[in-house]
């Protein structure tokens, strides 16, 4: 049976806006985008995040600029249980919040984009030597599930902005609820409008 996967997107729901996590001291990281880079990170020490704009507190959201996945302890437990080899979880204190939150760092990167089945792909106008062949943006993203190497959570080679989860993860997250994200299936033919 083919496993289905979903791209986790910002949800169209009222939500708070959380700034990119920093060191607990407030010092920014040299690479604030590191949580979307798909690599194992060293122990970062205590992390903190400020609320950029108050709103409805959500159990799963992305930070405002670098789109770091930030989740409640219940959501972190889903990743810890169903995808222990695919993620790192870093505790993060959010200002004025007593509940524990975590940054989810997907540590797997797979080369699974099925460009022929995507609705529209855009490469950078001027290829960067740092990011050869990277996509600027993809509409109607589709992946080949046979190339996911059995991962439940991963980033995509050449399009790391996409945070992909398996159907098992998606279903478990939806059972918890109060999500600031939505899920777009990426393993079916795109719908033409």
Q: What is the pLDDT of residue 133?
A: 74
Helix, strand, coil percentages for the chain (3-state, nearest 5): 15, 35, 50
Extents of the domains making up the chain: 5-111+140-185
Q: What is the pLDDT of residue 189?
A: 60
Work out the pLDDT band at 130, boundaries 50, 70, 90.
Answer: low
d(CA 99, CA 170): 22
| Threshold 0.85, pTM exceeds | yes
Contact 37, 162 (CB under 8 A): no
Q: For the chain, give the mean pLDDT.
A: 92
Assigned token pair, 13: 């729901």
Task: Give the number of other Cβ atoms within 10 Å of residue 157's Cβ.
Answer: 16
Q: What is the pLDDT of residue 2?
A: 66
Residues 30-58, mean pLDDT to the nearest whole number: 93
Contact 183, 170 (CB under 8 A): yes
d(CA 166, CA 73): 19
Work out the pLDDT band at 125, boundaries 50, 70, 90.
Answer: confident
Pairing relation of β-strands 87-94 and 47-49? parallel
């Amino acid at each position: 049976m083919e496993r289905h996967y979903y791209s986790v997107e910002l949800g169209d729901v009222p939500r708070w806006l959380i700034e990119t996590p920093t060191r607990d001291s407030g010092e920014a990281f040299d690479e604030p985008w590191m949580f979307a880079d798909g690599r194992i990170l060293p122990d970062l020490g205590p992390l903190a995040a400020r609320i950029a704009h108050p709103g409805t507190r959500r159990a799963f959201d992305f930070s405002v600029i670098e789109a770091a996945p930030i989740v409640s302890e219940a959501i972190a437990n889903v990743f810890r249980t169903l995808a222990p080899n695919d993620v790192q979880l870093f505790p993060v204190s959010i200002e004025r919040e007593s509940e524990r939150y975590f940054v989810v760092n997907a540590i797997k990167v797979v080369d699974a984009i099925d460009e022929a089945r995507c609705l529209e792909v855009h490469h950078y106008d001027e290829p960067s030597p740092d990011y050869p062949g990277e996509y600027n943006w993809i509409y109607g993203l589709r992946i080949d599930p046979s190339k996911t190497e059995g991962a439940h959570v991963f980033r995509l080679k050449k399009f790391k902005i996409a945070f992909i989860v398996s159907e098992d993860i998606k279903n478990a997250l939806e059972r918890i609820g109060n999500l600031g994200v939505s899920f777009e299936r990426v393993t079916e033919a795109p719908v033409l409008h």
